[in-house]
Amino acid sequence: MGMTMTQKILASHAGLESVVAGQLINARLDIVLGNDITTPVAVNEFKKAGFQKVFDKDRVAIVLDHFVPNKDIKAAEQSKTCREFACSHCVSHFYDVGKMGIEHALLPEQGVVTAGDCIIGADSHTCTYGALGAFSTGVGSTDMAAGMATGMAWFKVPSAIKINLTGRLPKNCSGKDVILTIIGMIGVDGALYKSMEFTGDGAHALSMDDRLCVCNMAIEAGAKNGIFPVDDVTMEYLDGRSERKPVVFEADTDAEYEKVIEVDLSKIVPTVACPHLPENTHPASELHHIKVDQVVIGSCTNGRMEDMEAAYNILKGKKVAEGIRCIIIPGTMQILRECVEKGYYTAFIDAGAVVSTPTCGPCLGGYMGILAAGEKCIATTNRNFVGRMGHVESEVYLASPHTAAASALTGYITEYKED
């Protein structure tokens, strides 16, 4: 029986000729990732277990991104724990203030992750790196601790859903609209502990930024991971960036999938996930009556350069609606710098938006945009659960950068249409 792309990566890292869905394996890890919230817990477990050193100082990545610059004393103490651990173990991929970025935007940009990798991260959106043709998944802090010490992790090999993408996206749509549409189709448990494998001519037509966005939200369908085939777009992105040689795995023609879902990208419309689940999706055109108080453009889902460019093209020369708080957060310092050099910052400020250094901040209700009772926010983030961005009586609407920026200009959820 043939194997899926994910199964081939796992078999290789387990030192096995083949694996099947449901099989338990112990696999070698290429990268173990943690952030300023999850790493301190992992450090405590690491010490409790009596571990003395990390398995490879170049294969552990620690990114301070959730509450950095530190928002309070607790955040400062957590960051201090990370700094001391990274220093004492000579962790080479340690990203602090001035170097940091939102972890799932930063690691691909810096070439820390590459095609063919097996990656765990103590953050649920670690599945982002499947866009590069890697197996990557989120784990708990205890698993992170074991991974840092041993360079190994246990997995149950997932079964797979093939998502065959055809056609090309309309100009006013992006990868965010694609993944919201798919989650709306299958639900937040529609791919529970399965691999979402994106294939077809449409997959090859998506940009790397779109692919990263799509894989980022695979977890919102319950998936173990999302993954794209390695093609010319992938190799062009990795060229001169990847610190290790990419390894290309391809699904067998007779690979077994639980189901195949067909998605015609040309029929995708600007889509919004309404409270309080990412599966509660509706076309943006049906929601023009909903007034918002805040707009957030950023996060590990949509803080990349194409997202900043979309916001710039919509906001330049215009003004954010009266009473609307528009917060724009570039995903990394490199993206921030490029925004400055291209004049995006000036345009954002002139439009009445505020621009932050890279941070997860408002996405998880941390800081930099907390909602009060009754307030509504349209955001390019990845979750809209009850209380996700603040008060339990607030509401979060998930959308693309195009829809979020257009909504900032009107004060209502607005479908972007090119002039």
Do 118 and 165 belong to one domain?
A: yes
Q: 415 lies in a domain? A: no
Q: 417 lies in a domain? A: no
pLDDT in tens, 115-164: 999 999 999 999 999 999 999 999 999 999 999 999 999 999 999 999 99
Per the prediction, the chain carries an average pLDDT of 96
Residue 413 pLDDT greater than 80, yes or no: yes
Residue 355 sits at φ, ψ, to 5 deg, of -120, 130
* pTM score, whole prediction: 0.94
Last residue of a domain, one of 226, 248, 264: 264
Enumerate the β-bridge partners of residue 412.
Answer: 291
pLDDT in tens, 99-129: 989 999 999 999 999 999 999 999 999 999 9
Last residue of a domain, one of 264, 287, 302: 264
Q: 160 lies in a domain? A: yes
Do 317 and 256 belong to one domain?
A: no
Residue 419 pLDDT greater than 80, yes or no: no
pLDDT in tens, 15-66: 999 999 999 999 999 999 999 999 999 999 999 999 999 999 999 999 999 9
pLDDT in tens, 213-246: 999 999 999 999 999 999 999 999 999 999 999 9
Do 173 and 95 belong to one domain?
A: yes
CB burial of 122-156 (b: ≥16 within 10 Å; e: otherwise) equals bbbbbbbbbbbbbbbbbbebbbbbbbbbebbbebe
Last residue of a domain, one of 202, 234, 264: 264
Q: 209 lies in a domain? A: yes
Percent of the chain with pLDDT over 70: 100
CB within 8 Å of 122: residues ≥ 6 apart: 33, 34, 35, 38, 39, 41, 42, 138, 139, 140, 141, 143, 144
Q: 419 lies in a domain? A: no
CATH of the domain at 277: 3.30.499.10
Do 286 and 206 belong to one domain?
A: no
pLDDT band at 276 (very low <50, low <70, confident <90, very high): very high
Domain that holds residue 399: 272-410
CB burial of 5-21 (b: ≥16 within 10 Å; e: otherwise) equals bbbbbbbbbbeeeebeb
Q: How far apart are CA 361 and CA 333, in angstroms?
A: 15
For residue 417, the model assigns a pLDDT of 83
